[in-house]
Amino acid sequence: MNTFPVGAAFALSLGAYTAGAFASLASWRKPAVARHICCGAALAGSALGGLAALLGILQGTPFHWSVPSGIPLFAYSFSYDALGGFFNLILAILTIAVSIYSLGYLKAFEGRRSIGIFGFLFHLLLLSLTIVFTAANAFLFLIGWEVMALASYGLVAFYHEQKESRQAGLLYIIMAHADVGCLLLGFALLIQGSGSAEFASFHTAAAHLSSTHQSAAFVLFFLGFGIKAGVIPFHIWLPAAHPVAPSNMSALLSGIVIKTGIYGMTRIFLDSLGGVPSWAGLAVLIVGVVSAVLGVLYALMEHDLKRLLAYHSIENIGIILMGLGAALIFRVAGHPTLAAVALIAAMFHTLNHAIFKCLLFLGAGSVLHSTGTRNMEEMGGLIRPMPVTAFCFLIGAVAISGLPPLNGFVSEWLTYQALLTGFGAIAGLTRILFPLAGSMLALTGALAAACFVKAFAITFLALPRGAESRNAHEAPRTMLIGMGWLTLACAALGLGVTWFLPVFDAMTEQLLGERVAAHLVTGHGLVLSAGMRTSGTVSPFVIAVGLLVLMLPAALLVAIGVRRFGRKRGPVWDCGLPGLSEENEYTATAFSKALRMIFSVLYKPRREIQAVFDVSPYFPKEIRFESEIEPTFEKRLYAPLQEFLFRVSSRMRTIQAGSIHAYLAYIFVTLVLLLLFGVRK
């Protein structure tokens, strides 16, 4: 088949990002021009990238392009296949939204911050992401990976005058290098086996790997990609880094950059490595469960809106890993069809999470833009000044809570079905883990719903809690269009899932040799079915229509009642004490109090109440309340690690005395040793 259109659109989108990077840097003196160039180039590049992705996925034949570089093992090889194409599609959907949104959002930067530098970093990030998703050479992949980490670092530390941003940036870059270290070692293992750094050569090489090497490669890649994806316990950088970036970039960081970890795992475990050890799938599944449950539990305790969203990214990565882990287990057990369903669940959730998380971060960005605070306790009542933002955020909240009929529900439903099928398909004691994982997914979903009731209600409902929220205003139109696009995507991917499923066919065929989308659709193309063993079915479309139809008579009853007996607005019941104010409202901290007490083993909450009394102890004049939870992972895992590193480095300092003679001697000794080593070979 003719792959020229795909290649052309792909090359043009790379060109647009490159041009965008340098053009916005060049026009740094004229902020308004830079803003338009930056957003325009991103929009053009992502539209072209999206086109390439759609064409590539629909055609099904991978497009290869390779230019030798003259350096051994390194070549500029790109491969545009179904898996990479799918992630490029996600990137395009998000970037279209973010670039339109940024047109309005960046206006506030004019005269205050350099839009040129911002645009450069933004386009560099897009370029590197595209390279990561299409690179077919391990070193090209790693270069893309590193550029992505550096561009993200620049964006995380963009508000560099704030200490919080600098610290988050530092933590981010340290973790990014820990992960690239693991990847380098992993690739070294594969390259040693195949003698080439091309992904295509890993297939055959991996088949000859000894089981120890295979396990080692799995662990290294899982660590490397897991750190990037933010799985627990390697998550600590994520809630620090994502909230401090500019909100439009937080949306991309949480939407797609962490998904590169998922891409890497899928690429290596299902494609390059060919097979993984049989315990690998279980490890992925268990890590997924832990990340999902702990992620949402930590999210519940946050009252910083963007940190809350960042913790939910950890949760959703966990849900994705449950599907991916199930796919790995089924594949090793010899059930490619079931593996395909599980893989579709994981990949669909990757897409869905990208969309609603991007939407929610953009919504949080609008709120931040309008009120200047990330602290939910100072918000409230924003649904009145910002009705459109509130509506978009609500749709995102319903979707991320996995509630029907939106997209989050559909992919969680598929994950449940994949897990339930596992019980029947897998022999032995491990199969008991599948329904248990399913029940933990249920816990995660219900806690997420609780968390988003809090996030939406405290931010947008009732009375404003601070002066900023009282004077809030709706976001500019471009920002609303960006959010509206993603809101539509949430609804379309939920209601129209049966029409979207064929997109996965090429990918499952490439990775597992199965096309299952047709088996997953029944009932005149309206009903999603779980395929083989479990005959579960669901139809988000009929659910949506059914809800509307059933609400109609209810609305009629209410309308008749209101018409005959009236409806009026009145004050809220205040227990007879006049003057109910925003101070009487429930707060985010109060909302999560019950869960804080129930899960106190995990949180180890600490609180401090100071009251100043005037005359009687029953009428305090002033109360100070402080509450915090113990950051368990930081305190128990990373603090000792840091201490150990510092101790080692202070020991090392003795050999680093600052004398140039000593350094020359070190170099000489090293050289001699290396030569000896070389000669002996």
Closest Cα partner for 97 from 399, 455, 360? 360
> How many CB atoms lie under 10 A from the CB of residue 334?
9
Using CB under 8 A as the criterion, what x/- string covers residues 390-429 for binding other proteins?
A: ----x---x--xxxx----x---x--xx--x--xx-----
CA–CA distance, 273 with 364 (Å, rounded to integer): 40
- How far does Cα 79 stand from its chain's mean position? 24
Query: Minimum Å distance from CB 359 to other proteins?
Result: 17
Please report how many Cα atoms fall inside a 13 Å half-sphere around the Cα of residue 454, on the Cβ side. Answer: 29
Residue 381 binds other proteins, judged by CB under 8 A = yes
Query: Minimum Å distance from CB 474 to other proteins?
Result: 15
Query: Minimum Å distance from CB 550 to other proteins?
Result: 5
Query: Minimum Å distance from CB 416 to other proteins?
Result: 6
Using CB under 8 A as the criterion, what x/- string covers residues 598-617 for binding other proteins?
A: x-------------------
Name the residue nearer to other proteins (CB basis): 2 or 439. Answer: 439
Give CA angle at 60 (54, 61), nearest 5°: 115
Residue 439 binds other proteins, judged by CB under 8 A = yes
Q: Among residues 73, 174, 207, 436, which is the contact residue for other proteins, using CB under 8 A?
A: 436
Residue 623 binds other proteins, judged by CB under 8 A = no
CB 145 within 8 A of CB 221: no
Please report how many Cα atoms fall inside a 13 Å half-sphere around the Cα of residue 25, on the Cβ side. Answer: 12
Q: With contacts defined by CB under 8 A, name the span among 23-31, 91-99, 377-385, 472-480 that binds other proteins.
A: 377-385
Q: Which residue carries 């600098």 as its tokens?
A: 166
Q: With contacts defined by CB under 8 A, name the span among 162-170, 306-314, 475-483, 563-571 that binds other proteins.
A: 563-571
| Integer-rounded Cα radius of gyration of the chain | 27
Name the residue nearer to other proteins (CB basis): 33 or 463. Answer: 463
Burial 129-138 (b: 16+ CB within 10 A, else e): bbbbbbbbbb
Residue 329 binds other proteins, judged by CB under 8 A = no
- Helix, coil or strand: residue 627: strand
Query: Minimum Å distance from CB 577 to other proteins?
Result: 12
What are phi and psi for residue 58, nearest 5 degrees? -70, -35
Name the residue nearer to other proteins (CB basis): 509 or 582. Answer: 582
Q: Which of residues 572-601 bind other proteins (CB under 8 A)?
A: 572-574, 580, 582, 584-586, 590-595, 597-598
Query: Minimum Å distance from CB 419 to other proteins?
Result: 9
Name the residue nearer to other proteins (CB basis): 61 or 375. Answer: 375
User: In terms of C-beta density within 10 A (0-12 exposed, 13-18 middle, 19 or more buried), how is residue 456 classed?
Assistant: buried
Q: With contacts defined by CB under 8 A, name the span among 113-121, 243-251, 542-550, 625-633 that binds other proteins.
A: 542-550
| Ramachandran bin of 586, using left for φ above 0, alpha for ψ from -120 to 50, beta for the remaining angles | beta
Residue 554 binds other proteins, judged by CB under 8 A = yes
Query: Minimum Å distance from CB 209 to other proteins?
Result: 35
Query: Minimum Å distance from CB 488 to other proteins?
Result: 20
Residue 385 binds other proteins, judged by CB under 8 A = no
Residue 491 binds other proteins, judged by CB under 8 A = no
> How many CB atoms lie under 10 A from the CB of residue 398?
22
Q: Which helix (H) or strand (E) holds 77?
A: strand 75-80
Q: Which residue carries 């101790």 as its tokens?
A: 647
Q: Among residues 12, 150, 216, 542, which is the contact residue for other proteins, using CB under 8 A?
A: 542
Residue 563 binds other proteins, judged by CB under 8 A = no
Name the residue nearer to other proteins (CB basis): 573 or 677. Answer: 573
Q: With contacts defined by CB under 8 A, name the span among 143-151, 204-212, 482-490, 549-557 that binds other proteins.
A: 549-557
Residue 30 binds other proteins, judged by CB under 8 A = no
- Contacts of 70-77 spanning 24+ positions with Cβ under 8 A: 73/138, 73/139, 73/191, 73/196, 73/197, 74/137, 74/139, 74/140, 74/197, 75/137, 75/140, 75/197, 75/198, 76/137, 76/140, 77/135, 77/136, 77/137, 77/140, 77/198
Name the residue nearer to other proteins (CB basis): 225 or 413. Answer: 413
Query: Minimum Å distance from CB 278 to other proteins?
Result: 20
What residues contact residue 374 under an 8 Å CB cut-off, 6+ apart?
A: 243, 304, 305, 306, 307, 364, 368
- How far does Cα 439 stand from its chain's mean position? 23
Using CB under 8 A as the criterion, what x/- string covers residues 171-210 for binding other proteins?
A: ----------------------------------------
Query: Minimum Å distance from CB 169 to other proteins?
Result: 35
CB 185 within 8 A of CB 219: no
Query: Minimum Å distance from CB 420 to other proteins?
Result: 6
Number of residues that bind other proteins (CB under 8 A): 88
CA–CA distance, 82 with 61 (Å, rounded to integer): 8
Terminal alpha carbon distance of the chain: 48
Residue 378 binds other proteins, judged by CB under 8 A = no
The pairing of strands 620-628 and 527-529 is unpaired
Query: Minimum Å distance from CB 427 to other proteins?
Result: 11
Q: Among residues 551, 623, 671, 672, which is the contact residue for other proteins, using CB under 8 A?
A: 551
Residue 440 binds other proteins, judged by CB under 8 A = yes
CB 218 within 8 A of CB 273: yes
What residues contact residue 139 under an 8 Å CB cut-off, 6+ apart?
A: 73, 74, 197
Residue 461 binds other proteins, judged by CB under 8 A = yes
Q: Among residues 329, 362, 447, 480, which is the contact residue for other proteins, using CB under 8 A?
A: 447
- Helix, coil or strand: residue 70: coil
CA–CA distance, 153 with 242 (Å, rounded to integer): 10
What residues contact residue 164 under an 8 Å CB cut-off, 6+ apart?
A: 244
Q: Among residues 120, 218, 393, 456, which is the contact residue for other proteins, using CB under 8 A?
A: 456
Q: Which of residues 516-535 bind other proteins (CB under 8 A)?
A: 522-523, 527, 530, 533-535
CA–CA distance, 461 with 212 (Å, rounded to integer): 56
Q: With contacts defined by CB under 8 A, name the span among 280-288, 433-441, 494-502, 504-512 that binds other proteins.
A: 433-441
Residue 674 binds other proteins, judged by CB under 8 A = no
Length of the chain, in residues: 681
Q: With contacts defined by CB under 8 A, name the span among 174-182, 302-310, 458-466, 636-644 that binds other proteins.
A: 458-466
Residue 363 binds other proteins, judged by CB under 8 A = no
Residue 539 binds other proteins, judged by CB under 8 A = yes
Name the residue nearer to other proteins (CB basis): 458 or 503. Answer: 458
Q: Among residues 174, 558, 623, 637, which is the contact residue for other proteins, using CB under 8 A?
A: 558
Query: Minimum Å distance from CB 578 to other proteins?
Result: 14
